[in-house]
Amino acid sequence: MMTKVIRKVAGSRWVQSPNWFWSFVLATLVSVVAYVFNLALSEVDPGNIWGISYGTAASILMAGAGLYAARRRTLKFRGLGKSFSWVQFHVYGGALAFILVLMHTGFRLPAGPMNWLLWILSVWVTLTGLVGIGLQKWIPRILASGLAVEVVYERIPELVQQIKSQTEELIETCSEPVRDFYRKNLAPALVNPQSRFIYYIDITGGIQSRMVEFNYLRRFLSSSEKDALERLEAAYKTKLELDAHYTLQKALRWWLYTHVPPSLVLLLLIIFHLYAVLYY
Amino acid sequence: MAEQRNIGLTEIKRVEQYKDRWTSFGANTGIIEISEKLTPAQLRKFEIFQEYDDQFLERISPDISIARWKKTTMLFEEGSYIDIAFFLVNGSVDVYLEKQRAHSSGPIFDSSRTVLSLGTEPLQKGQARGADRTVFQMKSEQEERRGREKGSKEITFLSVMDFDIPSGGVIRLGPGEIFGEIGALSGWPQSVTAKTVSQCDLVQIRVPALRLMRRKSNALKSRIDKVYKERSLLAQLKATPLFRGVSEEFVKALCQKVELVSCDPDEVITKEGEYPDAFYIVRSGFVKLSQRLGEGQVVVSYLSKGSTLGETELLIDGTKGWLYTASSKEYTELVKISREDYQQIVASYPMIEKSLWSSVVARLKEAGYNKRNIGQSEFIDTALNAGLVEGNSILVIDLNVCTRCDDCVRGCADTHGGIPRFVREGDKYENFIITRACIHCQDPVCLVGCPTGAIRRAAVGDVVEIVDSLCIGCQTCAKNCPYDAIVMHPTKELWPDNMIPEGLRGKERMLATKCDLCYSSTAGPACVSSCPHHCAFRVSNIGEFQQLLAKG
């Protein structure tokens, strides 16, 4: 049963590199076997040779996983391997590190404020890491499938301003009903990029429902006015798609704030923890 | 004529090569005198302009100059891209092969690379593709393949040479001769080196003017075509797989009968339903084939260098009209063989007929499939517009996987002194974005007209690079690029006060930048190796892109 599940995961789109995945599975198995052996021979204690080994391995893996952040800032050094390999180590190494932390504590809750802090941060960093993986698998797929527009996040405000000035130019040539419709329904939405929660639930639904507003007005317009309205409609649709990108790409960026700073704190506390253990 | 300028005063070494827009393409600046912006009366003194009216000559005058060159000056080198044709007024010019013939006669086009393959097998997970290989590896693979396929019918030698010179041979050109026009008009590299033997007076005509002149004057068109037929068509047709095994006399006779057709972009060559009067071979460029569907036209296939058109209509009995509307995608050159000549060829050489039947079957199969599958037709249209057909290395990104982290752009910028060579924008097709990174075209039009030769083939694989130290920021390459892949960047440097040309003096220097495939690094393109999610790929042809699409 367990083997079946692992094989299914290995073949899914969640696993980009089967080699890295199977290496992780193997390393985890080795760790579990060592832990069972440990249980058979002696009590699990963070302070004995077994416990220190788990802790040391976890610390090394965490430090290695943390190096990915440094790698992203040193891309010009081409001989340091592909970013993909670094990310794979970051993900699998980080996951294995958490398993080793649990072994280090003997799957028990820690004692003392420092140990609690380390433990909570380890759980937090691992959980936010998993959430990040989830977001990185989910959001690109819905952005690619549901939207016609593809855009660089940093350019969204500039593009929204472009749309705004184009529509303002266009509206000068339109009759009063269209202008009125623009002022009440469209102008407020074109001011700046807007985040909306609905894009997380249904990336196209939110846009389609807003486009319905144009249908009633269209009935009363001449053919030339209809053309102008269609151009307005197209511009507005593009703006809403930009909003969808803004909302979801922002999530991909903001998630990092929940993961990276705690990771740095965790690494610093690990150094302090090691110093304290060695000193005392 | 204007006085010769003292270029020795120029502070920047590269500017020594840049006398003005007319003389800059060569490594030497051996011009004694040059005059431009000539009046119609001045132009009409030369035989080549005599049949044009004043209005027309006024129009083309900015693209014409008269230059007096020193003796033993190199006009252009073999392999260089120029946008000028020369008309020799006085003196003599030698054209010869500087490099090994083996190099220049190598197939510059392998039609198998751009064949649209139906039902391509998807790549296996983890299988190496272009993105994982360095350009050095790609080059050796290409050479190996070319060697292996030498003599294969997939290789076409059409349009390689504009002079049929035996190894070690020299052709001396005299007054009244025109040269350089084939490479200039087609955007091909020059196949020979040209050097003045004595002091020469040359009329130098830039491509836009030459195109207009040829279009307006049947006499000039015939003259250029005649020169082309005499100098190179025979050798090219003989080397074309279609005519392999055909007697030399027959090909010689055919050379005199064929018509050379030049098309502007989007020009209709054949119209669906009209009487099929000829058979065509594509010399350069791309031709889009479409068919009527409802009220519109649906793209069913395309032709590239070496492809043929008309075999279906001329071979199948009872076909009353063209099955396709064929239109040029860009400047395209074709060889047109009349229906009668074509029928004579087929009747005389059964093996040609056999080969053409295979082509008929493949074309009908492809066109039929694509017409019934609109998605496939849309794919071809996108591929033609986005350069998937023309390119040798196209950066595509799988948006299903891309987290929009921009590490590809950052990696590119970090590798190139902080200036990225592409932006993560472009045409979207299904879940892929075809970025506006340089695609390293098979026929790079950006090379044509560069006044300093700063943009060039890097002599590694198919890489086109810009040498920063030679770029004067004139934007010619950026304007020529049909894919918006060349971006002008301002630098903080100002041109010196004695800069030639005068227009640049004191102005901020701009620099043209584009992807160079990171060819100097063994780690491959930075955009691909910097991608943390394995979603940036370099594809070298349309088939590889189809494989990526099939993988999903």
pLDDT one-digit tens code per residue, B450-460: 777 788 877 66
What local confidence, expressed as pLDDT, does residue B414 receive? 92
Put simply, the chain A residues between 1 and 60 with a CB less than 8 A from any chain B CB are 16-19
What local confidence, expressed as pLDDT, does residue B150 receive? 38
- Chain A residues with CB under 8 Å of B125 CB are 18
Alpha-carbon distances of A147 from A112, B114, B397, rounded to whole Å: 51, 30, 16
What is the nearest CA distance from A115 to chain B, expressed in angstroms? 33
Average pLDDT over residues B492-502: 73
What local confidence, expressed as pLDDT, does residue B459 receive? 66
Domains of chain B, earliest start first: 2-104+158-215 (2.60.120.10), 232-373 (2.60.120.10), 387-551 (no CATH)
Q: What share of chain B is helix, strand, coil (3-state, %, to 5)?
A: 35, 25, 45
Q: Is the distance from CB of B447 to CB of B477 less than 8 angstroms?
A: yes
B74-76 and B193-196 as β-strands: parallel, antiparallel, unpaired?
Answer: antiparallel
pLDDT of residue B34 exceeding 90, the answer is: no
What local confidence, expressed as pLDDT, does residue B500 receive? 59
Cross-strand partners of B87? B178, B203
DSSP B525: -
Asked which of A27-31, B106-110, B463-467 is least confident by mean pLDDT, the reply is B106-110
pLDDT one-digit tens code per residue, B336-355: 999 998 888 888 888 888 88
Question: B415 vs A139: CB contact, 8 Å cut-off?
Answer: no
Average pLDDT over residues B315-331: 88
What local confidence, expressed as pLDDT, does residue B28 receive? 46
- Chain B residues with CB under 8 Å of A150 CB are 399, 425, 428, 433
What local confidence, expressed as pLDDT, does residue B164 receive? 64
- Chain A residues with CB under 8 Å of B415 CB are 75-76, 78
- How long, in residues, is chain B? 552
pLDDT one-digit tens code per residue, A28-53: 999 999 999 999 998 888 888 899 99
Greatest C-alpha distance within chain B:
72
What local confidence, expressed as pLDDT, does residue B305 receive? 81
Indicate the burial class of B536 (C-beta count within 10 angstroms; 0-12, 13-18, 19 or more): buried
pTM metric for this prediction: 0.78
Tell me the range of A233-237, B214-218, B225-229 where mean pLDDT is highest.
A233-237
- Backbone φ and ψ for A40, nearest 5 degrees, come out as -70, -30
Average pLDDT over residues B530-535: 94
Q: Is the distance from CB of B172 to CB of B92 less than 8 angstroms?
A: yes
Q: Is any Cβ of chain A less than 8 angstroms from the Cβ of B455?
A: no
Asked which of B172-181, B235-244, B296-305, B370-379 is least confident by mean pLDDT, the reply is B235-244
What local confidence, expressed as pLDDT, does residue A118 receive? 94
Q: Is any Cβ of chain B less than 8 angstroms from the Cβ of A84?
A: yes
Instruction: Give, for B331, the enclosing helix (H) or strand (E).
Output: none
Alpha-carbon distances of B417 from B463, B464, B470, B513, rounded to whole Å: 19, 19, 17, 11
What local confidence, expressed as pLDDT, does residue B2 receive? 36
Q: How far apart are CA A184 and CA A179, in angstroms?
A: 9
To test the contact with chain B by mutation, choose from A17, A71, A75, A149 the residue with the greatest count of B C-beta atoms within 10 A, namely A75
Please report, to the nearest 10 degrees, the dihedral formed by the alpha carbons of residues B135, B391, B535, A140 taken in order.
Answer: 160
Residue of A nearest to B523 (CA): A78
Q: Is any Cβ of chain B less than 8 angstroms from the Cβ of A76?
A: yes
What local confidence, expressed as pLDDT, does residue A163 receive? 95
- Backbone φ and ψ for A101, nearest 5 degrees, come out as -65, -45
What local confidence, expressed as pLDDT, does residue B501 receive? 61
Token pair recorded at residue A41:
């021979």
- Chain A residues with CB under 8 Å of B407 CB are 72, 75, 83
Angle between helices A18-41 and A2-11 in degrees, nearest 10? 150
Rounded to the nearest integer, the mean pLDDT of chain A is: 90
The residue ranking higher by pLDDT, B81 or B91, is B91
pLDDT one-digit tens code per residue, B419-442: 899 988 888 898 999 999 999 987
Put simply, the chain A residues between 147 and 206 with a CB less than 8 A from any chain B CB are 148, 150-153
Rounded to the nearest integer, the mean pLDDT of chain B is: 78
To test the contact with chain B by mutation, choose from A82, A238, A253, A260 the residue with the greatest count of B C-beta atoms within 10 A, namely A82
pLDDT one-digit tens code per residue, B185-219: 776 777 788 899 999 999 998 887 888 898 888 88
Put simply, the chain A residues between 90 and 129 with a CB less than 8 A from any chain B CB are none
pLDDT of residue B102 exceeding 70, the answer is: no
Percent of chain A at pLDDT above 90? 62
Asked which of A221-225, B300-304, B488-492 is least confident by mean pLDDT, the reply is A221-225
Average pLDDT over residues B102-125: 34
Asked which of B71-80, B140-149, B266-275, B535-544 is least confident by mean pLDDT, the reply is B140-149
- Chain B residues with CB under 8 Å of A136 CB are 403, 533
What is the nearest CA distance from B403 to chain A, expressed in angstroms? 6
A31 Cβ partners below 8 Å, 6+ apart? A54, A57, A96, A99, A100, A103
Question: B399 vs A79: CB contact, 8 Å cut-off?
Answer: no
pLDDT band at B89 (very low <50, low <70, confident <90, very high): very high
Q: State the amino acid at position B236 in one-letter form.
A: Q
Asked which of A48-57, A181-190, B16-25, B489-498 is least confident by mean pLDDT, the reply is B16-25
Q: Is any Cβ of chain A less than 8 angstroms from the Cβ of B128?
A: no
Q: How far apart are CA B211 and CA B205, in angstroms?
A: 10
Q: Is the distance from CB of B299 to CB of B314 less than 8 angstroms?
A: no
pLDDT one-digit tens code per residue, B144-170: 443 333 333 333 333 445 566 766 778
Indicate the burial class of B100 (C-beta count within 10 angstroms; 0-12, 13-18, 19 or more): exposed
What DSSP letter does each residue of B353-387 carry, written as one string? HHHHHHHHHHHHHHHHHHHH-HHHHHHHHHHHHHT
- Chain B residues with CB under 8 Å of A79 CB are 523
